[in-house]
Structure 1
Amino acid sequence: MTVASKKIPAPDRVEIRRALLSVSDKSGLVDLARSLHEAGVELVSTGGTRKAIADAGVPVVDVTTVTGFPEIMDGRVKTLHPSIHGGLLAVRDDPEHRQAMADNGIDPFDLVVINLYPFEEVVAARSDYPTTIENIDIGGPAMVRAAAKNHAYVTVVTDPADYDEVLAMLAANDGASTLDMRKAFAARAFQRTASYDAMISAFMVRALDLPATGRHHAVGGTLSLSMRYGENPHQAAGLYLTGEVRPGAATAQLLQGKALSYNNVNDTDAAFELVSEFDPATPSVAIIKHANPCGVATGSSLAKAYRKALECDQTSAFGGIVALNGTLDAEAARHIVRIFTEVIIAPDVTEEAAAMVAAKKNLRLLVTGGLADPREKGMLVKSVAGGFLAQERDNSVIDDLDLRCVTKRKPTEAELDDLKFAFRVAKHVKSNAIVYARDGATVGIGAGQMSRIDSARIAGRKAEDAAQALGLGEPRTQGCVVASDAFFPFADGLLSAVEAGATAVIQPGGSMRDEEVIAAADEHGLAMIFTGVRHFRH
């Protein structure tokens, strides 16, 4: 008969008489131990935790005294013992459990304070494989899960941030825990162990280059930032770190400005992933609005690249995100702060540039310490009702593709440079995506439309609006190139690009009507490149 079938009710209050402490993070430990001792709680502890408590003059019992067995195998085996787990799992109101405890000299634990080996920090330090594996905690999660399962009697704490809450609970209840609090702490404990195991799994998949979509897939993270709300004010949200070592919005250092919002992080991530596609030797800037680029450019300096990117769509750039692939300097900062900008993200920043940005107290400045590797493998997860979709990151890079000219006319060297540039950008534009580019800058972008021809027309209209804003006689799409994230299903989308002034095209190819599209390109004297790779981005 199981405990559940015996229908033994959980007590509301459990007096805290005995506690087991075993922590990797020693912050707040001594104060907690002293407070528990002063409240009459017997303390049992392990290794370095026991030493820290004892060195502070607080009485503590070594776990080996309880188990009657020494720590062995470099501390790998110390708490995996019936005297420990019996004290954690015993149902004290079950006569059979009480008898088993009496027969085996097992005393119960009322409070368990454990935090795990710092696996995430070891991964972040890019430690070698054996060192990382050695930092997988075994005894800690086993005790946490045992205590959390038996929360009818045991309070389990896994984070130093909760120590004050535990002490406040004991003070308010004459040294006892309440069932509601034990349930809450148990839920947090299972969240912690689930996240911990998910991070280990993700590390091993990456390190061993295993298939990304195995039979089981776990997603875990540690809360990095609680947000006021999500995409909209009625939605709760938070930023979680998965342990992946990748420069970007989630892991960047916020040097100044307001706290990042959900939309800020989403858009900034899109901006930095895009700008990381470009060689750091080529100054490049991307301006993002609602996760889509509204201007991208390269230049001889970041300032010049920014000005070229801004000219693509000055209206949309207002209140946007600016990402740079090099150190933000004073010249670039001077131009960026002239209009309202939500976030600037760059690998680094000069002191002079930081001072300029600081004059805009709400402008967020993020420093990543490096660029993201566009070729690096990784997983992307999207929730759906009843589950989630998981896929590998799109790590296809234009420089690695086998480009094939399919038209009579081949692109000029200048056109080819712009075609490669435009296809880099198209990879980061929501599908259906059309990107017009000239001289290393976008001159019109059409994003996220239901048909490709609509994206081509919108990109052309954007170019016309930009020309009017800049006081130009004609749109800068005259003599440009065009990139499409996927094939043209019909020639009409291509003809729309011709009307806009495009002279060369880059697209994946693969349509049933490729020959029709190629014929239309030849008829209008276009050069067209097939990449063989598409970049849908939904």
Structure 2
Amino acid sequence: MVKRALISVSDKTGIVDFAKELQGMGVEIISTGGTYKTLNDAGIKVINISDITGFPECLDGRVKTLHPKVHGGLLAMRSNPDHMKQIAELGIEPIDMVIINLYPFKQTILKENVELHDAIENIDIGGPTMLRAAAKNYQDVSVIVDPSDYIKVIEELKSSKDVSLKTKFKLAYKVFEHTCHYDTLIAKYLREKIGEDNFPETMTLTFEKVQDMRYGENPHQKAVFYKEVGANKGCITSAKQLHGKELSYNNINDANGALELLKEFSEPTVVAVKHANPCGVASSDDIYDAYVKAYEADPVSIFGGIIAANREIDIKTAEEINKIFVEIIIAPSFTDEAMAVLSKKKNIRIMQLENIGAPVPEGSYDMKKVAGGLLVQNVNRECVNKEEIKFVTEKRPDEKQIEELLFAMKVVKHTKSNGIVVAKGKQTLGVGPGQTNRIMAAKIAIEYGGERTKGAVLASDAFFPFPDCVEAAAAAGIKAIIQPGGSMNDQASIDECNKHGIAMIFTGMRHFKH
């Protein structure tokens, strides 16, 4: 039975109504600071925590609930006669319910230009301590950290004059989830303040649920979408859905891949992605021409794919896109006329992402879950260091070819390995993704390109172990190649290029993507 409750909340949503319900059941209410004032102003009879402890709040409110009369009242096991005898001798009364949510640390660090001092001052000490104490003694103490639980607790109190053990246990679980999330945010914030690549000995990560998915990669798999807390500019988690049906697991994964590739370009560019691989990428002077080129790069694979653009979608581009079926269009903005055209299709997802070109935040991790573990690495920010390019063949590419080679390398960087990309005129002609040998990836890319490959360039995400890729490129009329180099057999590929008058450059930077 609940006789005494301690209330101390930063988020005061619904707290007055909840306290009134408790008061109506004869529950004695204890409170602190701003919560005390809120409840008192609402006409609720409330006891100040200092009147319980016999000790005033001090150190600017840093110390107010850290007292045996609070924690003894929370931790005493009602079924343990020695515990009850001890608190009686010490003049400690049991506390049967705790309603607490913590200082707004997350809201503080998300403010622009927040000072370290302000962040530190919003690290709650007494709140987590009381929450953990109450949750540890959940059999005897109901502990509420989430305002959404107020209604259920009141319903149980009204029906049985107590909170069920099952509900108490669930509430205790939510406390430890909540304090874990809270502490992890603090650790993440401080780790970022250190300003170094930081791979701690133990890693705790925290994410917040965005939505439940209908299913995962396949209908028999359950799935949920979570987001990181913090700077998410330019990320799929910050995109605003303007139209269309709910995003699927695969939609989000593919859209993320499209955005990662799109960030490589500053000029008007359109990226089409299918099954996590680019299938058409093009840059031009305006977004309409870029889209037409991306579509023409592979009009078969783009069907049912995802389109990402780094410029506003106008009506002309929208009308062109609407000629085919695509799952998602994501862009920084859409004109009203474009929206009117695109929204005629009921299911197409139209996503607005204002800072679509924003780089991935410093200190971000690239993570891959494996059974029983987690692989963590820095995000692959670089593509080509122009100062480290080596011209290794007798024929040197001209400036226009170098531009084309760099374009192709940006695309192959985001193609599953083994990956080969053939391009010309800042337009992909063929993409060979995810093959178990490099020559097969080259053959796929070249076959997609067809007759268009004459005079094109070719990019590889890793070195050529054999000259067979150069032989295939020569047969297709390709004039220049970019690859990392570094094979023990590099000279064989160089000789093959010289034999056919192909220019080849080494970047010294591999881009495996698995």
| 1:67-466 equivalent positions in 2, closer than 5 A | 67-130=53-116, 131-172=118-159, 174-246=160-232, 247-279=234-266, 282-370=267-355, 371-374=357-360, 376-398=362-384, 402-464=388-450
Gap change, CA 1:395 and 1:38, over 3 Å in 2: same
CA contact (8 A) 2:384 2:509 kept: no
Instruction: Tell me the distance in 2 between the aligned counterparts of 1:302 and 1:33.
Output: 57
| 1:277 maps to amino acid | E
Gap change, CA 1:136 and 1:365, over 3 Å in 2: farther
3-state secondary structure, aligned to 2:301: helix
Instruction: Tell me the distance in 2 between the aligned counterparts of 1:257 and 1:274.
Output: 24
CA contact (8 A) 1:330 1:352 kept: yes
CA contact (8 A) 1:401 1:531 kept: no
Gap change, CA 1:208 and 1:443, over 3 Å in 2: same
| 2:264 maps to amino acid | E
Instruction: Tell me the distance in 1 between the aligned counterparts of 2:416 and 2:322.
Output: 27
Gap change, CA 1:502 and 1:134, over 3 Å in 2: farther
1:506-529 Cα deviation digits (max 9, x unpaired): 111111111222222222211112
User: What TM-score does the superposition give when structure 1 sets the normalisation length?
Assistant: 0.90
1:161-188 Cα deviation digits (max 9, x unpaired): 222232233334x221112112212222
> In the TM superposition, what is the alpha-carbon distance from 1:308 to its structure 2 partner?
0.8
CA contact (8 A) 2:273 2:307 kept: yes
> In the TM superposition, what is the alpha-carbon distance from 1:220 to its structure 2 partner?
0.8
3-state secondary structure, aligned to 1:315: coil
1:351-384 Cα deviation digits (max 9, x unpaired): 3333333322322222222023158331122222
CA contact (8 A) 1:199 1:242 kept: no
CA contact (8 A) 2:257 2:273 kept: yes
3-state secondary structure, aligned to 2:358: coil
Gap change, CA 1:375 and 1:34, over 3 Å in 2: closer
Gap change, CA 1:392 and 1:53, over 3 Å in 2: same
Instruction: Tell me the distance in 2 between the aligned counterparts of 1:487 and 1:495.
Output: 15
Gap change, CA 1:374 and 1:413, over 3 Å in 2: farther
3-state secondary structure, aligned to 1:353: helix
3-state secondary structure, aligned to 2:279: strand
Worse-matched range after superposition: 507-516 or 442-451: 507-516
CA RMSD of aligned residues (A): 2.0
Structure 2 stretches lacking a partner, 5+ long: none
Identity %: 46
Gap change, CA 1:299 and 1:443, over 3 Å in 2: same
> In the TM superposition, what is the alpha-carbon distance from 1:271 to its structure 2 partner?
1.0
Instruction: Tell me the distance in 2 between the aligned counterparts of 1:455 and 1:148.
Output: 57
Q: Give the 4+ runs in structure 1 shifted more than 6 A.
A: none
Gap change, CA 1:166 and 1:256, over 3 Å in 2: farther
> In the TM superposition, what is the alpha-carbon distance from 1:129 to its structure 2 partner?
4.1
> In the TM superposition, what is the alpha-carbon distance from 1:479 to its structure 2 partner?
1.2
User: What TM-score does the superposition give when structure 2 sets the normalisation length?
Assistant: 0.94
Instruction: Tell me the distance in 2 between the aligned counterparts of 1:71 and 1:349.
Output: 55
Gap change, CA 1:196 and 1:346, over 3 Å in 2: farther
Equivalent of 1:489, from 455, 465, 468? 465
Instruction: Tell me the distance in 2 between the aligned counterparts of 1:276 and 1:73.
Output: 48
Gap change, CA 1:351 and 1:391, over 3 Å in 2: same
Gap change, CA 1:24 and 1:367, over 3 Å in 2: farther
3-state secondary structure, aligned to 1:181: helix
Instruction: Tell me the distance in 1 between the aligned counterparts of 2:67 and 2:96.
Output: 17
Instruction: Tell me the distance in 2 between the aligned counterparts of 1:92 and 1:29.
Output: 27
Query: Which residue does the alignment assign to 1:38?
Result: 24
Instruction: Tell me the distance in 1 between the aligned counterparts of 2:362 and 2:497.
Output: 35
CA contact (8 A) 1:302 1:326 kept: yes
